[in-house]
């Protein structure tokens, strides 16, 4: 039996494991620093108190326990030694016949140390919980301060990054300001809402990968919701409660949500010649990493060459990761029986972004169809429910969404701070 080691249990890694789960020719070890899989597109709803972490997460061990040839290993990747086919983890060493990197991407601060120290990212469940606590804490502080300038600073939220995450966070904050703050925080609404919600982006468009119609519709809807969209504004620094931009504009705030960029991680043991743009591993059409044997990369951590439609690499979205994971699994099976592998070809099923209640945009390139409003919102709801990893997550998420939709409220706004013993 061939031993496959998968580093990373996100969309890409989990789909390799699931596709090969009952194939007796392979044993699979899934390695991840967390003991659970989670659904990144809905992290912003955890951060804004509309979902609990358990709604979008599921334990690996429970997920794979019905598969006899799949095991899970909790650990942090430290180094690969290709000559010995060995992976060193924080929890020990594993040997492999095939090694798959599906480590995703990490937040890119573009070398701005103050932004890295002071901004709030949203790439993990931990990030989302920290952001949720922060949002609730600044609201509580705003209820007791008598200083108008300080209250304005506390109630001003800057979201950096005009992609789907930035749009969704700023739209959700605008919905909360309109429907929840007047009920939960009468001390604030009694003064009139003195803060601002800014969505800033260094480029000239929101939702850059989407159609011009979607970009304009999103800009119009966010503006109507009271979000102040600042395009061509590149963040330069965030220190002393002030976000500054390269055009010298400055915004006093306690909150900078960083959704402005990602890059892959450097993987010790991988030669420098194997890396491409944003530290992504260069692979051929069969996902094999450049200049290495029996080592593969898929998902956000990879930049695949050989697809003429995507000369600069595929977009770092869930559908690419899912399709690459399934394709690599099929190739492992093909290699195992001496058949030729399948070159990866991405099938773009469409792109969606939610803006707010009954508001979303959708592009379907195959039919050249653009949608907006309620029906696009319904499609977004259906796709995201279907994409959750099992029926329990789908039912819990649907229950929370239905309650929030009917009541325009949610009961998850609790500040929970895990502590340490002295």
Query: Mean pLDDT throughout 141-158?
Result: 93
Give the pLDDT band (50/70/90) at residue 193: low
73-124 pLDDT per residue, tens: 999 999 999 999 999 999 999 999 999 999 999 999 999 999 999 999 999 9
DSSP helix/strand/coil, 318: helix
**What CA–CA distance (Å, rounded) separates 307 from 342?**
13
What is the predicted pLDDT for the residue at 230?
Answer: 98
Instruction: From residue 177, give the alpha-carbon distance in Å to each of 169, 181, 195, 315.
Output: 12, 5, 10, 32
**What CA–CA distance (Å, rounded) separates 302 from 316?**
9
Query: Mean pLDDT throughout 128-133?
Result: 95
Q: Is residue 173 exposed (0-12), middle (13-18) or buried (19+ Cβ within 10 Å)?
A: buried
What is the predicted pLDDT for the residue at 191?
Answer: 57
303-316 pLDDT per residue, tens: 998 888 888 889 99
DSSP 204-263: S-SSTTS-HHHHHHHHHHHHHTT-EEE-S--EEEEETTEEEETTS-EEE-SEEEE-S-EE
**What CA–CA distance (Å, rounded) separates 365 from 13?**
27
In the sheet where 235-239 sits, what is the strand order?
235-239, 242-245, 250-252
Q: Is residue 380 exposed (0-12), middle (13-18) or buried (19+ Cβ within 10 Å)?
A: buried
Query: Mean pLDDT throughout 126-149?
Result: 94
Strands (DSSP E) contained in 339-420 are 351-356, 359-364, 369-372
**What CA–CA distance (Å, rounded) separates 302 from 218?**
30
Residue 378 phi/psi, 5-degree rounding, is -60, -40
Which of these is catalytic: 19, 168, 175, 221?
A: 168
Residue 348 phi/psi, 5-degree rounding, is -80, 105
Q: Which two tokens stand for residue 285?
A: 């059409």
| Residue/partner pairs of 129-133 with CB below 8 Å, 24 or more apart | 129/46, 129/47, 129/53, 129/416, 131/47, 131/257, 132/46, 132/47, 132/48, 132/49, 133/415, 133/416, 133/417
Q: What is the longest distance spanned by two Cα atoms in the chain? A: 74
Tell me which H or E stretch contains 399: helix 391-407
What is the predicted pLDDT for the residue at 368?
Answer: 84
User: What stretches of 65-198 show up as alpha helix (H) in DSSP?
Assistant: 113-118, 125-144, 148-154, 164-179, 181-184, 186-189
What is the predicted pLDDT for the residue at 306?
Answer: 82
Give the pLDDT band (50/70/90) at residue 22: confident
Q: Which two tokens stand for residue 278?
A: 């944003």
Query: Mean pLDDT throughout 388-411?
Result: 89
- pLDDT of 141 higher than 80: yes
Q: Domains of the chain by range and CATH?
A: 2-105+264-336 (3.50.50.60), 113-260 (3.50.50.60)
Query: Mean pLDDT throughout 48-74?
Result: 94
What is the predicted pLDDT for the residue at 320?
Answer: 95
CA angle 34-84-86, nearest 5°? Answer: 10
- pLDDT of 190 higher than 70: no
If one counts every other C-beta atom within 10 angstroms of the C-beta of residue 52, the result is: 16
Give the pLDDT band (50/70/90) at residue 52: very high
Query: Mean pLDDT throughout 298-302?
Result: 96
- pLDDT of 420 higher than 80: no
Q: Is 106 an active-site residue? A: no
Give the pLDDT band (50/70/90) at residue 209: confident
Residue 296 phi/psi, 5-degree rounding, is -130, 160
Decide if 328 contacts 293 (C-beta within 8 A). no
Question: Angle formed by the axes of helices 318-336 and 11-19, to 10°?
Answer: 30
Give the pLDDT band (50/70/90) at residue 418: confident
């Amino acid at each position: 039996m061939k031993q496959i080691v998968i580093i990373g249990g996100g969309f890409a890694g989990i789909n390799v494991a699931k596709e090969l789960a009952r194939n007796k020719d392979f044993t699979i070890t899934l390695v991840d620093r967390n003991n659970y899989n989670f659904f990144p597109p809905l992290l912003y709803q955890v951060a804004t108190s509309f979902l609990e972490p358990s709604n979008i997460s599921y334990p690996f061990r429970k997920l794979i326990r019905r598969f006899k040839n799949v095991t899970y290993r909790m650990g942090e990747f430290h180094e690969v030694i290709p000559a010995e086919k060995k992976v060193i983890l924080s929890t020990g060493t594993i040997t492999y016949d095939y090694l798959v990197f599906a480590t995703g991407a990490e937040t890119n601060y573009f070398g701005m140390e103050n932004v890295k120290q002071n901004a709030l990212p949203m790439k993990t469940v931990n990030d989302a919980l920290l952001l949720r606590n922060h949002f609730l804490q600044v609201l509580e502080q705003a209820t007791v301060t008598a200083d108008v300038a300080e209250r304005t600073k506390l109630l001003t939220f800057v979201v950096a990054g005009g992609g789907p995450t930035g749009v969704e966070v700023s739209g959700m904050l605008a919905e909360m300001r309109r429907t929840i703050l007047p009920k939960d925080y009468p001390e604030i609404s009694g003064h009139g809402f003195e803060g601002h919600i800014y969505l800033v982006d260094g480029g000239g468009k929101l939702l850059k990968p989407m159609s011009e119609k979607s970009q304009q519709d999103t800009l119009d809807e966010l503006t109507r919701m009271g979000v102040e969209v600042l395009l061509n504004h590149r963040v330069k620094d965030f220190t002393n409660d002030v976000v500054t931009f390269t055009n010298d504009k400055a915004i006093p705030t306690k909150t900078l949500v960083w959704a402005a960029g990602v890059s892959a991680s450097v993987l010790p043991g991988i030669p420098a010649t194997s890396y491409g743009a944003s530290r992504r591993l260069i692979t051929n059409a069969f996902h094999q990493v450049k200049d290495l044997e029996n080592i593969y990369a898929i998902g956000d951590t990879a930049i695949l060459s050989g697809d003429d439609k995507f000369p600069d690499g595929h977009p770092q979205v869930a559908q690419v990761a899912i399709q690459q994971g399934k394709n690599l699994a099929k190739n492992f099976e093909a290699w195992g029986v001496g058949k030729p592998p399948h070159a990866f070809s991405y099938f773009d099923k469409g792109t969606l972004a939610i803006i707010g209640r009954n508001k979303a945009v959708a592009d379907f390139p195959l039919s050249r169809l653009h949608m907006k409003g309620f029906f696009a919102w319904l499609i977004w709801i259906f796709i995201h429910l279907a994409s959750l990893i099992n029926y329990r997550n789908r039912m819990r998420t649907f229950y929370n969404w239905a309650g929030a939709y009917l009541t325009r409220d949610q009961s998850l706004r609790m500040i929970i701070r895990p502590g340490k013993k002295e």
